[in-house]
Amino acid sequence: VQEAQGSKAPVANLADRVSLYFVPVVMALAVVAGGAWFLSGAGAAFSLRIFVAVLVIACPCAMGLATPTSIMAGTGRGAQLGVLIRSGAALEAAARISTLVMDKTGTLTLGTPALTGIHLVDGASFSEKQVLVLAASVESVSEHPLASAVVQAAKVRGVTLGEVQEFESVPGLGVKAVVLEAGQERKVTVGRVSFVEQELGGAGQSLAESAQSVADQGETPLAVAVDGRTEAVLAVADQVRPEAGEVVARLKAMGITPVMLTGDTQATARAVASALNISRVTAEVLPQDKADVVAALAKDSQGVGMVGDGVNDGPALARADVGLAMGGGAHVAVEAGDMTLMRSDLRGVLTALQLSRAVLRNIKQNLFWAFGYNVLGIPIAAGVLAVFGGPTLSPMIAGAAMALSSVSVVSNALRLKRFTPTWTRAKQEAQPEAVRSSS
C-alpha cells in the first residue's frame, strides 16, 4: 500500500509538464504586470505590490498535490475494503477498461470441484469402483484442481489407491501413468475427451455421447482410458459463486463487457455462461494460450482487465492492462496481478473498478480546480480588475488564497475515504427493508 501511495499515475504527467514551465512563466508575468503598472504611472510601491501578489498567488502546489493525494486516499480506502493496489498506474488503467476477462474455475466458480458421477461407456471392462481407483491413483500425483475432486471422491468411498509409475502431465489436456493395482500394471490415461482420443488413436461413439451429456449439464467431463480402451467418463462439477450473477449484471451496468475464459469444453462453458448471462465465451483454451486471447481482446477494446486465481492465469494477468488476482489463489497469480482481492468474494472486482473510477474522477476534479484557480487568480493579482476601477489583491490575501487552493485539493481527495461501492450501498439499503417486512 505504501508503494502504491508513493507511485504516480500517468494522468499526473500533464501536471508535471505544466509545473516544469510554471515558475519561469509566472516570473515573467509578474515582471510584465509590475512593469506595466510602473510605466503607467502607478508608482513603485503599487507596482511592487502587484509584482509580489502575482508571485504569491501563483503556486504550483495545488497541481503537485492533485494526483498524489487522490492516490494516497484511494489506495488506503481500497486496503480497508479488501483491495490491495500496486500502483497509481493500475488505478488509472482500471478506470478505463471496457472489457473484463474472467477465468471460470476458481473465479466465477468456488474452485472446489466435486465428482458427481462415473458414466461407464458401452462395453466397459471395469466397474465404477475399479475406474475410480485407477483414475484417482493417477490424479493423486497431479496438481490440477479437477484432480483433487477425483482423489477426494476416492477417499470418501474408502478405496485404496495403487502405486503410480511413469507419471506424465500434459498441461491443459490430461495426465497418464502406469498404475500398479492388485498385482497388475495398468496404463491409465485421464483428461479431456480429445486428449484421450488422440492418445488412443480414436474412441467410440459411446464416449462422445457420455461426455456431451455431462457437458450439457454444465459439468466437466473427464475421459478415462485403461490399457488402450476407453472405460468411462467422470463428471466433475464446480458450484458457481452465489454472487457471480450480480457481479456480471453490475459490470454490464457500468458499460463493461464480461468475457468468460476457460479450458473447459464449449458445451460446459456455454452452460455456465448461460446461467450467468455472459454472452462472450472463449472455451477450450490451453493454459499457454490464455495470454494470447487477452492480447487479442486488447486490440479491439479501450482497455482489458483479467480476473484469475490459478497458476495458469499468471501470464494472462500480466498481459492484461489490469490484472486482478483473487487473494485465495495461487502465489503466481497474486504476484502477476496489479490488484489483489483479499476476500474470497467476486464483488471485490466491482469495488476495485468503481474505486478506480472514483479516484480518476477525483484527480480530474483536483486538476481542474488547480488549473482554474491559477487561470483566474493570476489575472486578478495582476490588477486586471483595477483597470476597470475594481479592487486590487494585496499580497497577504493572495497568500491566503494560495493556501486555500492547496487545502481545497487535499480536502477533495479526502472525500475518497468515504467511498462505498454501489453493491454495498444496495445491500445496506436492503437490510432495513427486510427488517420492516419481517416486522
Q: Which residues are catalytic?
A: 103
In whole angstroms, what is the distance from residue 59 CA to residue 325 CA? 41
Pairing of strands 322-326, 304-308: parallel
Contact assessment for residue 313 and residue 333, using Cβ atoms and an 8 Å cutoff: yes
Hunting for cell 493454459 — which residue is that? 287
DSSP 244-273: HHHHHHHHHHTT-EEEEE-SS-HHHHHHHH
Of the candidates 266, 168, 253, which has an alpha carbon nearest to the alpha carbon of residue 215?
266
Angle ∠(422,427,428) on CA atoms, nearest 5: 100
Of the candidates 80, 60, 101, 72, which has an alpha carbon nearest to the alpha carbon of residue 4?
72
In whole angstroms, what is the distance from residue 221 CA to residue 165 CA? 24
Q: Which three cell numbers stand for residue 127?
A: 466397474
Q: How far is CA 101 from CA 154, 256, 270, 316, in A?
A: 34, 10, 15, 9
Q: For residue 240, give the DSSP letter.
A: B
In whole angstroms, what is the distance from residue 95 CA to residue 356 CA? 5
In whole angstroms, what is the distance from residue 159 CA to residue 174 CA? 22
Hunting for cell 491443459 — which residue is that? 172
Of the candidates 176, 191, 181, 128, which has an alpha carbon nearest to the alpha carbon of residue 154?
128
Find all residues with CB under 8 Å of 20, minimum gap 6, and list them: none
3-class secondary structure, 230: strand
In whole angstroms, what is the distance from residue 75 CA to residue 84 CA? 7
Q: Which three cell numbers stand for residue 195?
A: 486428449
DSSP 188-213: EEEE-HHHHHHHHT---HHHHHHHHH
In whole angstroms, what is the distance from residue 361 CA to residue 372 CA? 16
Pairing of strands 339-341, 83-85: antiparallel
Contact assessment for residue 395 and residue 53, using Cβ atoms and an 8 Å cutoff: yes
In whole angstroms, what is the distance from residue 300 CA to residue 411 CA? 39
Hunting for cell 461413439 — which residue is that? 205
